[in-house]
Chains A and B, each alone.
Chain A
Amino acid sequence: MDPGQFFASSRVLIVAGKGGVGKTTASATLALAAARTGLSVLLVEVSGRSATAPMFGADAPGYEETTVYDEADRGSVRCRSITPDDALVEWLTNHGFSRIAKRMAKSGLLEIVATATPGIKDLLVLGRIKALESQEAADLIIVDAPAAGHAVQFLKAPIGVRDTARTGVLHRQALEVLEMLEDADRCRALLVSIPEETPVNELIETAFAVEDEVGLALGPVVVNGILPTIADLDAGAPEELTASEAGAVRLAADLRRDRNHLQATQLDRLGTDLPLPQIRLPQLFTTEIGIAELRELADAAAASIRDLDFA
């Protein structure tokens, strides 16, 4: 599939997965790959931190947008952060509650409201994203969903609020967000995992929950940290080496063979248990992700998308 066509198929991509699977790196990679197809991309972080901008070599953004990548007429990436408190104040202001907005966030009233209505914080964040989508703030909005806990909880928040707050403006907000989540032309989820046993299990559970319980369409699965396969690992160590060097070669080759085998097992299992196409990103042997690494990953993502076969 052509990457341009792929990234133009929904206006919002929610990148979700459990902690430790490189979800933020995947979000930044997809943003760059999408921008390279000529789209203006808005990359949104919702965990109250700003980890993606530094990957593009830019300073961390605040609530305001920061352009982190701009190739003139060939696409751009802007980053921004959305936190529940900011989203609440903005939302209250837009809904005629400007007088109490600040006080509500500051006085701790938000805490009581949030307790009374679980999911309200996640809903407000999703509501803000929906507003950006409606305003066509970018060709594509990529959301780095919260890492802690389950992605499902974040995505189910509007359903929870719809059922708890059965009247009032919050109820309407929940309905509007659900409308977006249930429309595959507007919004899809990309789930991220790594090719290991427990993350694969969790990804499969999450995928079914997102589809069945939230009604959100799933895009391809992003599998991070793929260890490249090496041919002829059985060739043995070169004869010229000392005994300890040869030992190191054999140890590394044996370990690599085991890891490649385990990885293949998990990828097969993922493919069998979850019939979704996979975007595969290689494991990088570098310490930090900067723009050079991001380019390499974006190349891999684009190549992987080109190989995808969509019905």
Chain B
Amino acid sequence: MSSYADLAAECQVIVCCGTGGVGKTTTAAATAMAAATMGRRAAVVTIDPAKRLADALGIVELGNNPTIIDGPWEGTLAALMLDTKATFDEVVRRHATSQNQAETIYGNRFYKNISTSLSGTQDYMAVEKLAELHASGDWDLVVVDTPPTRDALAFLEAPKLLTRLLDNPIYKLLISPSQGVLRAVNRAAGTVVRQLSRVVGAEVVDDAIEFFQAFQGMEDGFRERADATLTLLGADATAFVLVASPRADTIVEAKYFLRRLGKADLDAAAVVVNRVLPALATDLDRSNAIALAHPGGPTQALADHAAAAAGDDDRIADLLSSAPSATVARVPLLPSDVHDVDTLQRIAALLASS
């Protein structure tokens, strides 16, 4: 088991995953900051950060290039807010055989749907950006904050988003008419196209066929890239950090996440539990006894706190039993949301000492 400090010091890629509302972006930023404090060059890819956190990090605009954040760290810290559409356009440009092919694809409505509103696109582009930053050689560590998906596999399967469509036999049918293959296949394609047209309308089908035809020649590039990013996600220098909070519903989700991660033969290297109530000197029984013997506001607060903290402890223990090999970091409940560099530094220091 590596300590959290080891992860920040040695990993090349850290993926922060978990459901929404548990402080994932904050954890990702603090992790990169911890690495920068150790003298490393660390970049964090954020997805839809809360506005005030983005302001604090100086990433006011969607930018597809990392913005350097100045601060009292020995290394380099940079952050970027993922622009899904622009990243997808870059990927297409990289794989296109000609400028013309890229332009045809940009103008296609089916492509616009894929690159903006298809579920999974954000995950896909987060992985792409991660791979790109990693490959640039400019960064010792790339930390990525994942979109709030419920399922770990959605993120891991994201690189295959397009190739899965291309592997679909229907795709082959859709593009085959232009290649003059067997009439039986053409007829089958015709049937599929007619049925689809009746359901979704003819122009939608036309757009899809046009997209797949325009895409020809780029499949291999996309396939190789998908394989390469999956290899990167499974590499030893890549760590998954599960971010959770002690709330009952987020623990349930976190356990589900771990199970799905396990299904892909991956482990969470660390579990970060945010918003943990500070421990008290009195346990639950003693706290209740005090509240009973001395009724009043302060002792009521004590009993409530002890009850909530005991519940937190039980739930955290339950979560950790699902991730026995993970290192654990508990981040205390903070009086307000994190939106300044000082607080982030405190969390970074806390993570690094876990």
Residues of chain A whose beta carbon lies under 8 Å from any beta carbon of chain B: 18-22, 24-25, 47, 51, 92, 95, 97, 100, 104, 107-109, 111-121, 147-149, 153, 160, 164-171, 196-199, 201, 230-238, 240-241, 244-245, 247-253, 255-256, 258-259, 262, 285-289
Contacts and interface: CB of A to CB of B under 8 A. Distances in A.
Contacts of B150: 19, 47, 147-148
A287 B21 contact: no
B199 A113 contact: yes
Contacts of A236: 298
B235 interface: no
B248 A245 contact: no
Nearest to A161: B200
A268 to B, nearest CB: 15
Nearest to A289: B248
B294 A285 contact: no
Given A51-B252, A232-B296, A287-B314, A245 B281 contact: yes
A92 B298 CA distance: 62
Given A160-B117, A256-B305, A109 B20 contact: no
Given A165-B200, A232-B296, A238-B296, A20 B169 contact: no
A69 to B, nearest CB: 20
Interface string B132-176: 000000000000000111100000000000001100111100000
A116 B113 contact: yes
B218 interface: no
Going nearest first, the 6 A-B pairs with the smallest beta carbon separation are: A20-B21, A19-B20, A232-B297, A168-B201, A238-B294, A256-B301
B5 interface: no
Given A109-B192, A115-B208, A255-B277, 7 more contacts: A92-B199, A108-B168, A197-B50, A197-B337, A233-B301, A235-B296, A244-B281
B198 interface: yes
Nearest to B212: A112
A250 B165 CA distance: 60
Contacts of A196: 337
Contact of B300 (A112, A160, A230, A245): A230
B103 to A, nearest CB: 21
Contacts of A51: 249, 252
12 contacts: A109-B192, A114-B118, A148-B20, A164-B113, A168-B197, A168-B199, A171-B201, A198-B337, A248-B282, A249-B290, A252-B302, A252-B305
